[in-house]
Amino acid sequence: MVQKHPSGGYILEELFVGMTAEKAVHVTEERIRLFAEASDDFNPVHLDEAFAAKTAYRGRIAHGLLSASFGSAVVGTILPGAGAIYISQTLAFHLPVRIGDTVDIRISVTEVDQESARVTLACEGFVEGKLIMDGVAVVRVPRRRKKA
């Protein structure tokens, strides 16, 4: 398990297949509300308990992309960290996330392409050990650190 690099981000030459980082994020009413504001997604399944209770989910659920954004937090701040830029991301959602859940995000390096300065990452999210989402990200990583 890797920690945040002292510089804020790993450069391409420091990355290798198998590196893994994790982060736990608690889902709150406020996070859901703020995400709705930021994304302009006011679907009542996320915000209205009376409406959501009548759906297949039998209650409110968090936005799928809110949970996915926790993976972005790992990519942008831990592995690879500062300077990493998303190129692409696939996602599959398997189970809903609810207010009060803690999402455990795991990001692992599966490929390092020295020529293109791109890294492929396996992205997984869990709640109480159950896989709630997974996917693959490709990110561009700096080759060297800028001098201060």
Which tens digits make up the pLDDT trace of 1-22?
Answer: 999 998 899 999 999 999 999 9
Coil, strand or helix at 22:
strand
- From 42, 2, 47, 48, select the one nearest 21 (Cα to Cα): 2
65 burial level (CB within 10 Å; 0-12, 13-18, 19+)? middle
- pLDDT (mean) for 88-115: 98
- pLDDT (mean) for 101-113: 98
Quick one: pLDDT band at residue 48, thresholds 50, 70, 90?
very high
Coil, strand or helix at 137:
strand
**Distance between CA atoms of residues 17 and 113, nearest Å:** 11
Q: What is the largest CA-CA distance in the chain?
A: 57
Mean pLDDT across the chain: 96
Q: What percent of the chain has pLDDT over 90?
A: 95
- pLDDT (mean) for 19-40: 98
For residue 146, pLDDT beyond 70 = yes
Coil, strand or helix at 58:
coil
